Structure formats: structure tokens, C-alpha cells
Amino acid sequence: MPLNVPTEYLQGFITSGQQFWRTMAGLDTNGAPLDDASAALQPLKTLTAPVALLEAHSAYWPQLATVWTRTLAGTMGAETEPVITPERGDRRFAAEDWHKNAWYSLLKQNYLLNARLLEDIVDAVATTEKDKRKFKFFTRQLIDSLSPANFAATNPEALKLAFESSGESLRDGFTNLLADMQRGNISITDESAYEVGHNVAASQGSVVFENDLFQLIQYAPLTEKVAKRPLLIVPPCINKFYILDLQPENSFVRFACEQGMTVFMVSWRNPDATMAQTTWDDYVEHGALTALNVAQSITRADRVNAVGWCVGGTILSSATAIARARGEDKVASLTLLTTMLDFEEPGELGVFIDEAGVAQRESAIGRGGIYSGKELGFTFQTLRANDLIWPYVIGNYLKGKSPPAFDLLYWNADSTNLPGPMYTWYLRNMYLENNLRKPGRLTMCGTPVDLGNIDTPAYVLATEEDHIVPWRSAHRSTQLLGGPTQFVLGASGHIAGVVNPASKNKRSFKVSDDSTADPDAWLASAETRPGSWWNHWIEWLTPYAEESVKARVKPGNAVHKPVEPAPGRYVKVRTA
């Protein structure tokens, strides 16, 4: 049906809007600078690139007008296509009403257009790349928070549910809100569905060593014969270790045991006030180095195959470099999972790191104190707010529902504190000053650290969508380590890319023998292989495992006797 749209009005609307932003950018109608631009506009011109600003608004106004005209046409029965659609993977507008109802479609498209405009304005800001990343991050937080899906009055699913339940859903949502306020965090899974040691972290084994910093778990063998050299895993100290031992079908620990490995796992203690003085050196000397010694002593192996994940990989690499500087050859192979050794490009976490912020942390807890795991956990949630915050605000509070059980999210909610001195040293020397990559710049445990002294073979895994350890940053490790390296690029992100069970054969990974320092050149040469990187890794590891010996039935030895059954008590301590 033809529709009499006031085209003169719309054209004037577009022209006026475009002219307004030309003037704001200090340009004439042809895009040339205005000689008599108002002095009041000078700050804006210094902050922005005028042409880019003009282009952003020149695109915005016609699109906004088209949204309105198509919405009007749709109300008259015409078939129309949306002017703008959500990005792939954006699940906020999946409900049918966002597409078929004219009002909700208008809301959605206006929001998406305004979001794009804000992002384009940020792109036009003339500032340092670091400051622009911060500006983009916090602008994205604002954009995400203002989604119409986040408000009861503009969320079609929440409104429909409220009417159908005669308001019960809203009452339940308010009850959920009060409960979460008492807890101090947003519920993201049904925590009552899991119990550490029962249906997560349930692999059989024994704690064979403990000190004030960690417990060492030795897992029971699952094969009659095992590799002579054991496998030691050093997980991040900012989370619990059992991300690598969730349930049998997705347990990396179980997979390694099934491949004939004797697996040892570091279970870091959840720090309390008694650990307020604990330093980075303590995590290296009394953590990773001690774990290497104990695993080697129990198995009587000449060396140990070692795996480190994220900051656990940074700690393990530091320990390995120190051991080599001391003339000790403890590590037969080194596997680094989504680990940074060069922090030049620290990813989205870099937006929180600057001199003022680090100095403030040092003043508050650098000489003694505890950094709250809940605060750290919320920081990580903001990096993926549309996955880890807003869906639960909508589900828990607007719809009055309880989140479903999900083992990975249960682990994610099980936060861990950090000692203030260790945390602030890590912030300054890694994220802020990037000292670890510089040979001899850092002294740890009384020993100058040079990653180039690590001449052991290394398997370096990065993941394509990692927002915590960008894969190009992880690739730089290949140029810092002194031995031969195998770089592998897995699909997905920081967690799902690592926990990719071989039995499910999902996703893919990229490999190449190219040892170039240029990550993009490496990517161009890489071959994509289907399935999990776990199978590729175990093939790579096998030559460094030595010959097979009869499996050790009894855990520990005469010196390091079993303390308690796995997973031990350290991992069960929850953050208050």
C-alpha cells in the first residue's frame, strides 16, 4: 500500500542534522575547514578528527530517517527490511517481538544506530591508542547498560511474563535482587547444583604436600603403565584449579591420566588475612619451584613436564627461568595455555591499568592487605557484560527466574582473593612496565630472570577470541623463550578455547611450523584442523614423557605422605 511520507520534512531533518555536525566539526558544506569557526568549538576540534566526525553523522541521519519511514510503512502493512541488525552472536534481541512488533523493532534499531554513532565518535577522538581503548571500553559499558532489553518497561518478554503471571514474575525478580544484594554479586548459575569434590573437582587422588601457599594433588592413575616423567599443572592463582577438572567428560586432568600421565595439580590457597604479606617471589619459590621439586621427588624422574595457564603460566615460566639460572634442569617440556610473557598489548584488562591506578593500589594494599576476589571477578565480568552481567539482570530480576546449572559458571562464581603485595607487584612489573620480557630487568627470589634461558621445548597455546590474553600477545612468547616452540591457535576464548574436550571433537585449531616473529605472517601460513587441540598436544608431549613404567598405585612417598583425599580443603574455601 502506498504511503504518503512527508519527504520534505525528512529531507530537511537530514540536511539540518548534517549541517549541524559540519559546523560542530569546523567544516563548511564541502568539508573544508571553516575560517571563522567559533572559539567555543575549538576543544571539540582538538579532541576529534573533523572529517571522521562528519562522516559518522552523515551516515547516521539518513539511516535514522529510514528507520522511521520503514517503521511507518510497516504499520501500514508494507514489507520492510531493518536498517540495522544486531551483530552476530548478540542474543539480546532474539525474541520474536523485536522483529515483528513495529514498536519494539523501532526501539531496537534506534538503540543500535545510536550505539554505532557513539562508537564512531569515539573512533574520531584524537588521542593516544591506550586512552582510546579506555574510552572505547567505558563507552561500550554505557551502551550495553542502556539496551532497551535491560528495562522492564521496554523488554517485550519481561512485560508479557508480568501480565501472564499477574505480576508474580516481577515480585520474584525483586526477591532475587534482594538475595543477590545480600550475597554481594549477581547469581549466574544454580550454585546448589554443584559441590566441590562431589560432582566438580571429583577426579580421584590425594594431597601429597601442602604449605601455607598451596596443596599439591597427585591423581590416581587410569592406566596400568604411565610415563616415567610426571605432568605438573600450575593453574592461575586468581581462580580455583578445577576449571581443568570440572566433570569427567570435560576434565583435562582425566584426559591426561587416560593418556598415561602421572598428573600433579597445584591447588592454590584462597588468601585470607594471614597471607597479607605474601609476595610474587613466594608464589614462584614456595609455589611453582616447590611443586616441581615435590613432583620430581615422588616420581624419581629426571625432569618434569610442566603446564601453566594464564598467570599460572607466567609464574611457571618465571620459576623455570630461575631454575635454569641456578643451573638446575627441572623441566623437560613447558606448555603455556593462554599465557602472557610480553604484556605490550594486554587486551581489555589494560584499560584498568595506569600509573595512578597502580600507585593507588600499592598505597592501599601493596605493603600488606588482601585484594577481594569478588572485586576481581566483577572486573572480569565487565569485559563480557552482555554475556556475564546483563542476561542475568534480565533473567533474575526482570523475569523472576533462577539461572540454570552450568559447571563452568559455577567455577567462574567461585572467586579467589589475592595477596596485596603479590598483586600490586604483578600489576606494576607485568602490565604497567612490561619488565618480564627484558632480560635481567627483574630479580625474583634473588635471581635475575631471563626467559631466554628457558631452552626446553615449549607448546604455546593461544585462542582466537581471547579478551584477556590476545593471541598475538601470546604469540610473542615464542620469541622470548630460548628453546624450540610449537605455537597453536585454538578457536573460541580464554576458557572455552582451553576446555575443549577431545571426546567431543568440537571447534578447531590452527598450526604451523613457521617460526616467524610476525603473528599475522604465522596466521597466513597456518593450517586449520578440526577438533580439539588436546589430541595435538598429547602427540607433541609424548616424546618428552620418556618410557613407560608401572603405574604408581600408592600416592606420595616416604617423605611426602598423603595428607587428605583430593581435591583437598584449600579449594573448598569460599571467598566471604
Active site residues: 310
Specify the 3-state DSSP secondary structure of 139: helix
Cα–Cα distance, 102 to 232 (Å, whole number): 58
Cα–Cα distance, 259 to 222 (Å, whole number): 8
Specify the 3-state DSSP secondary structure of 27: strand
Instruction: Identify the residue whose cell numbers are 560542530.
Output: 24
Q: How many residues are listed for the chain in this entry?
A: 576
H or E segment and range at residue 548:
strand 548-550
The CA-CA-CA angle for residues 136, 139, 143, to 5°, reads 130
- Could you tell me which residues come within 8 angstroms of residue 219 by beta carbon, excluding any fewer than 6 positions away? 203, 204, 205, 253, 257, 262, 263, 264, 265, 566
Specify the 3-state DSSP secondary structure of 171: helix
Say if residues 57 and 23 touch (Cβ distance below 8 Å). Answer: no
* Closest CA relative to residue 490, chosen from 462, 512, 466: 462
* Closest CA relative to residue 558, chosen from 330, 294, 301: 294
The CA-CA-CA angle for residues 261, 265, 269, to 5°, reads 175
Cα–Cα distance, 377 to 114 (Å, whole number): 30
Say if residues 475 and 468 touch (Cβ distance below 8 Å). Answer: no
